[in-house]
Amino acid sequence: MQQIPGQTQPKPVGSQPVLHALLEAESLLGVITTRHNFMSSIPKKDPAVNSMKSKSTRQKYIMMLQHRCAGVDSAEPKQLEAILWDELIEGGFVNGHVIKDAMDIPYDFSIMGPTVKGRLFLMELEAQEAKDTTQAKFMRYGIPIATFILGAIWSILIDWFKKKAGL
């Protein structure tokens, strides 16, 4: 049973164990009811929720986040920038302040600078971007493939040159 600060819970004595058990069941039911009310408040037309019936939990998380990210990405550029700065500030990557409207949506911001965590995150993002360049992909895949092909046809080329040279 949850303990509310400043409230004392009655201790079961004699015939009160049944009452105590009922109070615990009532508090558990309250938690379950709250969770049910939360789940029923999710719109049924939400595609991220409707297509989840036979998916794993990880796939459900991915779908839910992709659906919500699509909504954020469609915001106006200034508002999108404010939303992204707000996420960085709340994540502890940047020191700054975001101004939000009455619906708690960020619309303006003031940034002081990155934190140590933000600098490390920046280095990680830059490393990921460097791996995705065309030159990096060529070095990673093109050179090994070219080496394999040249190795495979090397003996054929040597035999061909020997025939042409008359050896």
Q: How many CB atoms lie within 10 A of CB 93?
A: 19
Residues 23, 139: Cα–Cα separation, whole Å: 67
The helix (run of H) or strand (run of E) holding residue 96 is strand 94-100
| Per-residue pLDDT at 23 | 53
Task: Pick the closest to residue 50 from 70, 67, 37 (CA basis).
Answer: 67
Beta bridge partners of 98: 109
pLDDT given at position 47:
55
Is the full-model pTM beyond 0.75? no
**Whole-angstrom distance, CA of residue 99 vs CA of residue 93:** 17
- End-to-end Cα distance, the chain: 95
Q: Mean pLDDT in runs of 10 for the chain (167 residues)?
A: 50 50 54 44 51 72 78 81 90 92 88 93 89 82 89 86 83
Cα–Cα distances (Å) from 99 to 76, 111, 113, 165, in that order, read 16, 11, 17, 80
Residue 37's pLDDT is 45
**Rg of the chain (C-alpha set):** 31
